Structure 1
C-alpha cells in the first residue's frame, strides 16, 4: 500500500475528536520545545527565541484556536451553550496571550498547559486538579 493510501485509510478511520487531539498534540509539542527557554529569557533573548521556531508554532496555534472559535460560534454547533461559551473564552485568552508573547511578554507555558488540558479533554481524561 502506498503512503498516500495509508494516510487516507487512517484519516477515514479516525473520529473528528481524534483528529483534533492529534492536531493539538503536534502544535503543543512545537510550542513546548521553546516554552521553557522563552519563559526564562528576557529582552532580546526572548525575541531571538521568538524569531526561531516559536513564531511559526504560535501562528499555527492561533490559527487552530481561531478555527475552533469560529466553529463554536456557528448556530449549528452541537455542543452545549455553556461549554461553547467557556471554549470561546479560552480562545480569546489564547489570542491575548499570543499577542503578549509576540511583544516579548507573557508565558508560552500557559499556552502549553491550556493545550494539554484540551488534549486530555479530547482524549476523555478527567481534568487534573491542583494539589492543595
Structure 2
C-alpha cells in the first residue's frame, strides 16, 4: 500500500460525523427500496436493508454501546421487525413502503440529534448527543 493511499484512507470520511454517515446509509437504502422496480432490484434493496439493520442491531446490543437502555431496546425491537418484514418480502408481493417509513423515522431521529453544521473551512466536531457518554455512533461500534 502506498503512502498516498494510506493517507487517503485515513482522511476519507473524517469530514462527516458518525450520525451523518448513518443518515446517508438510511437514505441510500431508502433510495434502493423506492427504486426497486423489478424482482432483482427488490432483492438487492431488501438485502441492503437487512444488512443495515443487522449492523445497527449488533452495535446496540454491545455492552459498550453508549445509548440509553430504553433507546437500545426500542432500536432492537424496530430492527427486528424491519428484518422480519424484509425477509418476508423477499419472495412475496409485500409493499416496501413500511420499510421506507421506518427508515425515514430513523433519518429524522438521527438528523435531530446531529450537531449544527460547522463553520466553513473546519471539520465538524463529533456529536455529544448523549451528554457525558461516548460520542461514537452505534454503527461505528461494530466496525
Give the alignment's TM-score, normalised by structure 1: 0.73
What is the total number of aligned residue pairs between the two structures? 109
Aligned to 2:29: 27
The aligned counterpart of 1:107 is 95
- Counterpart of 2:128? none
Q: Does 1:60 align with 2:53?
A: no
| Structure 2: stretches of 5+ with no match in the other structure | 1-6, 114-143
- Any runs of at least 4 consecutive aligned residues in structure 1 with deviations exceeding 3 A, and if so which? 5-10
In 1: Cα distance, 2:108 partner to 2:30 partner: 12
Aligned ranges for residues 1-132 of structure 1 at < 5 Å?
11-34=13-36, 49-50=38-39, 52-124=40-112
Identify if the C-alpha distance between structure 1 residues 7 and 24 changes in structure 2 by more than 3 Å, giving closer, same or farther. Answer: farther
**Quick one: distance in 2 between partners of 1:106 and 1:91?**
18
Q: CA deviation at 1:13?
A: 1.2
Q: Structure 1 stretches of 5 or more lacking a match?
A: 38-48, 126-132
Deviation at 1:103, TM superposition (A): 3.0
For the structure 1 residues 66 and 83, does the alpha-carbon distance in structure 2 shift closer, same or farther, using more than 3 Å as the test? same
- Which stretch of the first structure deviates more once superposed, 13-22 or 103-112? 103-112
The corresponding residue for 1:41 is none
Distance between the aligned counterparts of 1:18 and 1:79, measured in 2?
17
The answer for the alignment partner of 2:141 in structure 1 is none
Residues in 2 aligned to 1:32 and 1:102: alpha-carbon distance in whole angstroms:
15
CA shift, 1:57, in A, is 1.1
State the alpha-carbon separation in 1 of the partners of residues 109 and 12 from structure 2. Answer: 22
